[in-house]
Structure 1
Amino acid sequence: MRVQGNGFWKTPLGRSALGMGCVLPLLTACGGGGGDAAVVPPVVPPVIVSPLEVNTPFALSDFDSGDKPKIQRAGDGTLVVAYGDAPDNARLVYDVKAQVERPARDIYVKTCKPDLAAVPAKTCDVLADWSLAKNISLSSDKSSINTEWKGILAPGLQAYAGDIDKPNIKTSGPVMVLTWVSKYCPDGDLTTAGVQAPVQRAIRYLERDSRIIPFSCAWMARSTNSGAAWSAPVQLSTGERDAIQDASSGGFNTDTKLGQINISWQEDPQGLQLGDGDGPGDGASGANVNGGTDVWYASATVDLSVPATPADDFVLAPAVRLTDNWQGLYGLSGSVNPIFDGLGANVDPGSIEKGQAGAARPNIGMVGSTAIVAYEETKGSEGLDEGKFVRYHAFPFATPPATAAGKAGCVISNPLKNARRVRFLTQSALDAGPGGIQIAVFWKEGIYDKGGPSDIVVRRGMGGLQPANMVPSVDAACATSDYTTAIGLSSLPGENISSRAPSLTVADNGLTDGTEVNFTENALAHRGVLRGGDLWIGYSYTTDLVKLWAQLDNYNFWLRKYTFAAGTGSWDLPRNVTNITDKRISVREPRIFGTPKSSATACPTGLPGDPTTTDATQCQNTNVIYLAWGTQENVSPFVPEGGADLGIYITASTDGAQSFATPVRYSVAAGPLFQDDESAYESQVVTRPDGGKFYGVWNQADASVEVVPGVPRTVAEYASGSITSIVSP
């Protein structure tokens, strides 16, 4: 059931920011910090005057298990959405994170290219404008391993369906790369022609009714024509180790029609680990790893210059181990062997890789032909230090480091603290300008372990991408795998951009604060935009975790800007952009993004008024920056099920993030706090170059309809929108 307040859905100037009751009190205070109130008093939501207008959303997925949609906009304007979904009558699998049995999913892709000149006009705002779904993974009805996946509930070996985790997709010109991890791993030797016998393994989760769940392997598929056609899926790993956290990047030259692509993922030799209950979620996400977990890397060259030679369109090199955490050791990390083969027998510990350190949550990028990989890694201190380093690599994309020193990666975090969830933003040397920002690397850092308070810390690569270009500087000996050497590094502290956010002044900007200056506050969900000399980094922030849990504070999204010009730069003060005053509601999964580059054909000079411009909407407006976010009930971390998801909101700036328009609710769904069975979460949004139009997808769940017991119906929801008044640069 969808609750739409007093019935109005779309006004001439956009949707109300307050769908029902006081959903998001961005203009007026709602009160209601803690207390025992169980019912939200109905009020008539005001009509919010905003230059943002949202079109009616609709379900883009076809079945009842639409999951984690991703959206890309190709250079020719084609919209491409990839999502997971389970076809009707799909076999059941066990979701370790959600702790439920659910239908196995495949990855589907749909496309739509807006064309207002067509008859009738093609807006992509109705389902009929979109292509039929194409199944890319083709694995949910297959199996490569038998396990006792029902555990003590139904002992005995049973085939496990080829379920996928989620799609990840990146675009470089007309080239799109789609990656995922799957429980279907049929080929046990990728170096030998043909499909060899599987070597896939599985892990027993005692905490999950002793279920034995298969390891995952990495896969990819590609399109070289903006998503119109896709290659057959390509298996990248064997499932001998458990793969997760896949991603890709790359670059494509529209003049030469040459490009390069890179892909990364992590593999844990002893299977994905459950969480320790200290942070959000309950593990099996790849953050908690065994020693010997490494990041793997693959690269490909793209050559579309001669259409008659398809063999060189996309040439993929074999995957290699990028990091050095497995150093030839074998065995188990404990006394119990939880690893099984496809016959249901324990795997010989003498064939299970192990090590002291483990790498997790890699991010990948490419600038020119330089590959960038950053990740978090346990310190390998044999129990002396439970924290993590953030490590960084920059190398020629086709020649990843082969020596031990190169594989170590540069420790760029404070080695005495716990660093995790590294992200980065990049741009070319031309876009950065002389001595400018080519990369901004930022992460969470503090003295506490998982779930503890932390700040957001930043380093900038000025005039280059190597560790030597980092500001503040890092020790020249930062690439070391030796724990004693690593904790003795003399790198300067990174810039702390979240410390004491509400109380900073120009004279006291907090950048040199240690992460424990204010040990009650916490920052997370860091995101950013890098464009020329302007760098914006935002984060969700609460002043006090104890007050947060008591509903006396909440998470809002704060934004801070670094400006570099004439060889010098400075940070401004943090600003609360979302300003949610209702302490029952927190920001979740923020997304901040700028506009893409101008079209080389429709706007070759980048100037809307230039005589060579044939479509001004394809000219980049660098003044436009969007911010979208989900909302979530703010509850104590001791509530087992966590806070319920609510609705998704969006706003935009047309003056370079100096100010933002009044937000509007992007999703119809408002969530259970407002008597709505439907909730929306995890949005993904893109825009065209002028910023006047945006296109987004998100997950939407309906608690009133169950696909199987305990599993709500979910869909991949889509809606576009526009800024009704916009000024060109």
Structure 2
Amino acid sequence: MKLKKILFYCLSLITALSLSLGVVLAEDGALFRRNISKTPENETEKAAIYMMDFYVPAQASTGLVGPVDNYFLLDEDSQDDETTSAYVARNYAKPLISVYIDDLHPEEETKGGITFGHFDAFVGVSLDDGTSWKTTNLSNSSDLSSFTLDSGYDYPGDVHNVVHQVAGDNIFVAWVSKYCDGGTPFYKMDPADTEDVAYFEDLKTTYGKDALYLYDLFGVKGKQGSVDYTLQGYPEIGEIPYSCVWTARGKLIAGDDPKTEDTSEATHVVWTKPERLTSGVRDANLPAVDCAKDAGCILTWQEDPEGLRPGQGLGPGEGWSGAVANGKTDIWYSYISYADFDDVFEDSETPVATEVVPLKEFTGETLAKVYVPMAMPTRLTDNDMCKAFSSITDTTKMEDPYCYIDFDNIDAIDPLNLPTAPTAESDFCTTQIDWTTPGGSTIPICVTEDGRVLNGRVASTRVRLNLKPYSPADAVDADGDGVVEKSAWAVMAAEETKALGDMLIDPYGDPAEDPIDIGKDIWYYSFDMFAHPLVDQGGMLNQPAKCSPWTVGATYDCADYEFFPVQTDPLNGGDFYLTEIARRFALTTNSVKAAADSESGLAAMLIYKQGIINQGGPADIMLRRVVIPEDFDPAVDNPYTFENMECSEWVYTDGSNPNYLKGLCLSPAINISGSTIVECTGTAGNDACAATFPVADDGSIPEGDTSFPKVTEWRQCDGIAAIDGCESDNDLDDQTWENPFDVSKGHRGFLDGDFVMMMYAWSPNWKANTVGNDHYNLYVRRSFDGGLTWTTTPGDLGGTGTIATENYCVSTASSECEGTEFTYAAGEFEQGLNVSQLIGNKITILDPRYTPTGGLKLYPTIRTDWLTTNIGPASETLPYEDDLVRDPSKYFMIYETGDNTTVAEGEAVPLDLYYSRATVYGDVWELDPDWYDEETGVIEDYRWPWVENKAEILSGEASMLANPGGTFMYSVWNQWQEEILPDGHELVFDSDIWFRRFLYLQDDDIATTQRTPIVFIAANPQEIYSTADDEVITLFAAARDLDTLGDDPQIVEYEWLINGQPFSITDDTTNCSKDKMCNAPARVVSGNWDGHQFTNPGTKPDYFYGWYEFSVRVKDNEGNWSKGVSKRVYIAETIADAQPYSVHIPLLIANP
């Protein structure tokens, strides 16, 4: 690779020093990796990893407790030198939890594009920083069968997906399996059975569960079905049974594991018996989970009544993946609260409440059975058909009860007397219409009370979700453990296949003989996890389609740059707009506090891919900002609600249009991948090039076109910055067809207050890319004001400007490619950063991954309270310095390369994995030292260091996280070898899930610019303090100076405030003025016995009970003050007195 100036991305901070000081290179540690699964003869898939946010005594998988002492530096002459320690041995570690599926009977072949084997769901736990792993088979179903094919074959209980999440010391795992027997499904409980009635009543009275939680109102129960793919043209696949949803709950507890005899453990993980949620009456797929500490866990999945569809899409992930589905496919929802998570039967399965114990107290010899089941599954979306009658004579044709229930009065629902016909009070069948099906039959179809027609024509797929905790105004201590429970906001969206709504029309609103079943919209949902919607429409994210002036062969009447003519829905009479294809939703969210504290008020960034051609065509990456209003109340208001989506032009906000009940945004989304064409084949300028695009909206290329133009040079413009080659237009609000040639994928990102990191893979030429004649590169864009502008790192955050390289070598041989440099000042508008720098067309980018410091949940520190409470005081100072305070200026990425020569026959074959750490918020990226000449200071080739790069090994599905300080990055991935057999099938071998730990020395990137320090209040689970017990409120502030200027100590002053006023009383028991530790007796704060009255000094001798806010800020050695952070505590005479008054805003406001 040639460069006009041999530089790499974002090097301006050290460009002038490169010859003397060197560049920022790869990790400092020796190569450290472990094989987690250790089953090379079995195929392994679906690797993922999460980290708990507290310390435990370091312990090997054998149970031996002892320090981790393998933090070695990389020696120049050896990849595995273990002589020089980077860190002293550590006696404590952060628990790492990984999941995967493993095929235990590899003699079964893989048929077509779907799994056909004997996979089980596994979890791996490491308590010694990844040094060793203890694995557990959670599903144990691969050698079982619940379905016999027509051929007589007992189909194996194959697991084809597994997902997990952690919250506190709880682990939640969900999977989908072909085994649909056992698992004590809740839907089998009989509300007429005497023993079951007692169980139901206890769940009602003790745990507060209602009919929606307890009873099957949505048709969960049924017989496991199957689909015969022979009828769909795939005889080699044949008959496949439907899948069911399963969950298991784990808990890390202190003490010796009674199941082991040779060792005495400090901690161990215990698991419940797996719980089956569904019956297999529909085909379950693509589970998604998230958990929030002190709130609970949620689970969604999709269920297809006709089985997994083979798929028609030509893009990645469209075939056999669940991306497309049959009509009536709904998103289903279930949840479990944090308070109920680990209650189990003590020693029997008889539902008697007195036999309930916490999981950590369970002493049985088998796995414990959960006492409080997951909530009965409900339909979140509104895709199923509800007919305005039920067949009383044929119970198999009866409608599910939810069609006729009045959900406005849940307490009145009688499980023994559910309605079998609509009434005036039926929420989802208030009226009815006669609907003529595509086959010509007429069916009376239900119309909901808000005007939707439930005729089952559409399908929802591929949910992505987050769960964000908050403290509601009516929060209480539900389980009596002294901690007031929280709730959480669910934030999610799904693709919905259009079938162009419910109508027989073509893409332009004209009559058609058959309904079109391709194309998608993105529908968004956000709600309290315990007050979830039912059969909900959601809110549409993508803007209605506008007319391109360059469409080939257009026969419709449409003004250029204007919306297509508004249509009228023949079924409900409402207006509807035509749309492009929007799919592949992703999202990133701020915490409730981070959104409230940010300057921009940014709560979420909603991300999706959108394009003009339905099947695998050109596409851009679109962003929607969700911004909290000025009067936002964090104890009541949902910051992520659809109504908070930034939009300058709303329509139908009064709920009168049944097609857009929450309103419709006509404003364009942010086109983060949008670009201006500078030059293309035969001409120059964006509009002139766009006019040569020879493709119609339906993806067809007119006959006679023998060549397809290529874009050879491009820019990204904001309409303001003076970038050579830019036009006056702002690409950030582009329609997808303004540059119709490019294609994007792999869109992801994270929020950290006002900071936004976005990443995506992009190619300038979609058509050439589909046959391997162009390739993807990985791009990064950053915003420091909540997505309003996209710039380099501002000067007040350490930015000094950057030099970036782009390669306009579409028609140039790799050996002759010369990069073009762009120089940006600090805080200046910046085009997307090409961080992969691939040239030539042999290699392309597949799936990229990322992690901020602190992992995806942005842990601000590693807690010590769990250790202190469950084990005892630590033997050394904790948190470790690099875990003490999160460094927001660092983050990590991994990208997967693919063999671009195989794209013409399908998807690129995965090859290798590469990683880098970004510092200075992404101004600096670390490179592979093997391609840097230290003597000359020349970067001979821009390459990221490798995670795995052996020629014979294929790698993919990486998952990653990092510690708060950015000194350790952890990753797992699947790797394998494969061989194509003479019959064309793939033989997979040497397949395992691998783990790697990346190590960095502290202060490797020394900041020489003054930066504001940061502070947080260490987590303290106690929230209520008693004056009667003379309890002392003890809070600890941890701070970090983000630069290395000045003399030690870096932090020179701590300023504590209580309710906004300094609290300066200092004696033997009280010190809450200028130290990192605040000790404040509850009696002193609420009304001192010696006459001092804090709230209103000197006026009353009695106590003032209620909520008090402690806040702290720090000053560094240059005189810079940090932002303040705060924590609320409740003071009462006794703990019992506090319970009725546990009304508050978020308890812990501690993220800087």
With normalisation by structure 1, the TM-score equals: 0.78
**Structure 2 Cα separation of the partners of residues 487 and 79 of structure 1:** 41
Q: Give the direction of change, closer, same or farther, for the CA distance of 1:396–1:470 in structure 2 (3 Å limit).
A: same
Q: Give the direction of change, closer, same or farther, for the CA distance of 1:613–1:491 in structure 2 (3 Å limit).
A: farther
Alignment of 1:439-454 (within 5 A): 439-454=604-619
Deviation at 1:90, TM superposition (A): 6.2
Contact 1:408 1:479 in 2 (8 A): no
Alignment of 1:239-278 (within 5 A): 239-252=280-293, 258-276=294-312, 278=314
Contact 2:980 2:986 in 1 (8 A): no
Residue 593 in 1 paired to residue 589 in 2?
no
2:911 is paired with a residue of what secondary structure?
strand
Deviation at 1:56, TM superposition (A): 4.1
The percentage of counterpart residues that share the same residue type is: 24
Deviation at 1:603, TM superposition (A): 10
Q: Give the direction of change, closer, same or farther, for the CA distance of 1:278–1:306 in structure 2 (3 Å limit).
A: closer
Residue 410 in 1 paired to residue 539 in 2?
yes
Contact 2:772 2:904 in 1 (8 A): no
Q: Give the direction of change, closer, same or farther, for the CA distance of 1:484–1:324 in structure 2 (3 Å limit).
A: closer
> Cα deviation per residue 1:398-436 (whole Å; 9 max; x = unaligned)?
12113x5xx000011124111101111112231122551
Residue 201 in 1 paired to residue 225 in 2?
yes
Match of residue 583, structure 2, among 420, 442, 448? 420
Q: Give the direction of change, closer, same or farther, for the CA distance of 1:217–1:563 in structure 2 (3 Å limit).
A: same
Residue 65 in 1 paired to residue 43 in 2?
yes
Specify the alignment match of 2:251 in structure 1.
Answer: 224
**Structure 2 Cα separation of the partners of residues 273 and 617 of structure 1:** 48
Q: Give the direction of change, closer, same or farther, for the CA distance of 1:601–1:486 in structure 2 (3 Å limit).
A: closer
**Structure 1 Cα separation of the partners of residues 36 and 317 of structure 2:** 27
> Cα deviation per residue 1:16-35 (whole Å; 9 max; x = unaligned)?
xxxxxx9xxx9899xxxxxx
**Structure 2 Cα separation of the partners of residues 261 and 476 of structure 1:** 35
Deviation at 1:488, TM superposition (A): 10
Question: 2:582 corresponds to which letter in structure 1?
Answer: A
Contact 2:249 2:341 in 1 (8 A): no
**Structure 2 Cα separation of the partners of residues 59 and 222 of structure 1:** 25
**Structure 1 segments unaligned to the other structure (5+ residues):** 1-21, 30-46, 115-122, 149-155, 253-257, 331-348, 605-610, 671-675
**Structure 1 Cα separation of the partners of residues 587 and 672 of structure 2:** 15
Alignment of 1:562-581 (within 5 A): 562-564=783-785, 569-572=788-791, 573-581=831-839
Specify the alignment match of 1:75 in structure 2.
Answer: 53
Residue 379 in 1 paired to residue 379 in 2?
no
**Structure 1 Cα separation of the partners of residues 187 and 649 of structure 2:** 39
Q: Give the direction of change, closer, same or farther, for the CA distance of 1:95–1:399 in structure 2 (3 Å limit).
A: farther
Deviation at 1:550, TM superposition (A): 5.8
Specify the alignment match of 2:26 in structure 1.
Answer: 51
Q: Give the direction of change, closer, same or farther, for the CA distance of 1:306–1:60 in structure 2 (3 Å limit).
A: closer
Q: Give the direction of change, closer, same or farther, for the CA distance of 1:393–1:487 in structure 2 (3 Å limit).
A: closer
Specify the alignment match of 1:635 in structure 2.
Answer: 901
Deviation at 1:576, TM superposition (A): 1.1
**Structure 2 Cα separation of the partners of residues 587 and 643 of structure 1:** 9
Q: Give the direction of change, closer, same or farther, for the CA distance of 1:624–1:488 in structure 2 (3 Å limit).
A: closer
Specify the alignment match of 1:113 in structure 2.
Answer: 127
Alignment of 1:62-461 (within 5 A): 62-63=38-39, 64-76=42-54, 77-87=94-104, 89=105, 92=108, 95-98=111-114, 103-114=117-128, 124-125=130-131, 129-131=132-134, 133-148=135-150, 156-186=151-181, 190-193=186-189, 199-206=223-230, 207-209=234-236, 211-225=238-252, 228-252=269-293, 258-276=294-312, 278-281=314-317, 283-303=319-339, 309-310=357-358, 316-329=374-387, 355-368=456-469, 369-381=488-500, 382=503, 384-385=506-507, 386-402=518-534, 407-415=536-544, 416-432=579-595, 433=597, 436-461=601-626
- Return the index of the structure with the highest Cα Rg: 2
2:789 is paired with a residue of what secondary structure?
strand
Deviation at 1:478, TM superposition (A): 7.0
Specify the alignment match of 2:698 in structure 1.
Answer: none
**Structure 2 Cα separation of the partners of residues 422 and 306 of structure 1:** 33
Q: Give the direction of change, closer, same or farther, for the CA distance of 1:49–1:396 in structure 2 (3 Å limit).
A: closer
Specify the alignment match of 2:1080 in structure 1.
Answer: none
Contact 2:174 2:245 in 1 (8 A): yes
Contact 1:357 1:379 in 2 (8 A): yes
**Structure 2 Cα separation of the partners of residues 490 and 658 of structure 1:** 35
**Structure 2 Cα separation of the partners of residues 505 and 396 of structure 1:** 39
Contact 1:549 1:634 in 2 (8 A): no
Q: Give the direction of change, closer, same or farther, for the CA distance of 1:472–1:426 in structure 2 (3 Å limit).
A: same
Contact 1:692 1:723 in 2 (8 A): yes
1:92 is paired with a residue of what secondary structure?
coil
**Structure 2 Cα separation of the partners of residues 80 and 479 of structure 1:** 46
Contact 1:68 1:84 in 2 (8 A): yes
> Cα deviation per residue 1:80-118 (whole Å; 9 max; x = unaligned)?
11111122x4673754425x75x411011121122xxxx
Contact 1:301 1:315 in 2 (8 A): no
**Structure 1 Cα separation of the partners of residues 1005 and 357 of structure 2:** 45
**Aligned-CA RMSD value:** 3.6
> Cα deviation per residue 1:282-306 (whole Å; 9 max; x = unaligned)?
6121111111010000011112899
Q: Give the direction of change, closer, same or farther, for the CA distance of 1:281–1:426 in structure 2 (3 Å limit).
A: closer
**Structure 2 Cα separation of the partners of residues 552 and 305 of structure 1:** 52
Deviation at 1:548, TM superposition (A): 2.5
Q: Give the direction of change, closer, same or farther, for the CA distance of 1:601–1:685 in structure 2 (3 Å limit).
A: closer
Question: 2:130 corresponds to which letter in structure 1?
Answer: C
**Structure 1 Cα separation of the partners of residues 887 and 917 of structure 2:** 13
Specify the alignment match of 2:1140 in structure 1.
Answer: none
**Structure 1 Cα separation of the partners of residues 342 and 311 of structure 2:** 50
Specify the alignment match of 2:969 in structure 1.
Answer: 694
Q: Give the direction of change, closer, same or farther, for the CA distance of 1:59–1:318 in structure 2 (3 Å limit).
A: same
Q: Give the direction of change, closer, same or farther, for the CA distance of 1:266–1:454 in structure 2 (3 Å limit).
A: same
Specify the alignment match of 2:766 in structure 1.
Answer: 545
Specify the alignment match of 1:499 in structure 2.
Answer: 674
Contact 1:588 1:630 in 2 (8 A): yes
Match of residue 466, structure 1, among 616, 641, 651? 641
**Structure 2 Cα separation of the partners of residues 313 and 392 of structure 1:** 33
> Cα deviation per residue 1:56-83 (whole Å; 9 max; x = unaligned)?
4342213222212111111121111111
Q: Give the direction of change, closer, same or farther, for the CA distance of 1:726–1:85 in structure 2 (3 Å limit).
A: farther
> Cα deviation per residue 1:122-155 (whole Å; 9 max; x = unaligned)?
x534xxx222x2100111011111114xxxxxxx
**Structure 1 Cα separation of the partners of residues 846 and 285 of structure 2:** 23
Regions of 4+ moved over 6 Å: 26-29, 194-198, 304-308, 311-314, 478-484
1:632 is paired with a residue of what secondary structure?
strand
Question: 1:71 corresponds to which letter in structure 2?
Answer: I
Question: 1:393 corresponds to which letter in structure 2?
Answer: Y
Q: Give the direction of change, closer, same or farther, for the CA distance of 1:615–1:704 in structure 2 (3 Å limit).
A: same
Q: Give the direction of change, closer, same or farther, for the CA distance of 1:141–1:551 in structure 2 (3 Å limit).
A: closer
1:712 is paired with a residue of what secondary structure?
strand
1:392 is paired with a residue of what secondary structure?
strand
Q: Give the direction of change, closer, same or farther, for the CA distance of 1:480–1:270 in structure 2 (3 Å limit).
A: farther
The count of aligned residue pairs is: 624
Question: 1:104 corresponds to which letter in structure 2?
Answer: H
Question: 1:242 corresponds to which letter in structure 2?
Answer: D
Higher strand share: 1
Deviation at 1:549, TM superposition (A): 4.3
**Structure 1 Cα separation of the partners of residues 663 and 49 of structure 2:** 44
Match of residue 712, structure 1, among 988, 991, 1001? 988
